Amino acid sequence: MKPLRREEEMAEILTGMNAVIFMFVDWSEYARRGRAVFEGAEAKCTAGSSNGSASWWIADISSTDSPLSAVLHRWLTAQEQRGKVRMFPNIGMGNGAVLWVKNGEVIGFHASAERLGLDALVHCTEEILADS
């Protein structure tokens, strides 16, 4: 899992084939537990051959003052306005949301990695990225 910290990394996600992004906030216990689930899912998915080509990212949105937070917010707002995936207000609630991205477009969303659980997160990742 790579940390998403700079606009250059965001550009990598937008131009890459498949990406899975975990939205982390340091003040949420749900996000901390969800991070462990996300890390486990990454290990399972990259160990197998089905989605080893997806890049796995963690976006720390704890501070809304960071330049990356503004970039992410604009991108996510534009994605939602296209009507493909409804994500707000869930992302900002600190539940540890997961986004699946293909060619710069959000193709899947779940509000909480923890509530989804390890096996379901792996299954969703395989299904969503295979269907796109």
Q: Specify the pLDDT at position 84.
A: 64
HSE-up of 3 (CA within 13 Å, CB side)? 6
Side chain identity, residue 64:
T
- Give the C-alpha separation, 53 to 56, whole Å: 10
| Structural domains present in the chain | 2-131 (3.40.30.10)
Q: Which of 34, 55, 76, 51 is nearest to 129 (CA)?
A: 51
Per-residue pLDDT in tens (0 to 9) along the chain, 132 residues: 999 988 889 999 998 889 999 999 999 999 999 999 999 999 999 886 554 579 999 999 888 787 788 888 888 888 888 876 667 666 767 899 999 999 999 999 999 999 999 999 999 999 999 875
C-alpha dihedral sign at 15, 39, 108, 6: negative
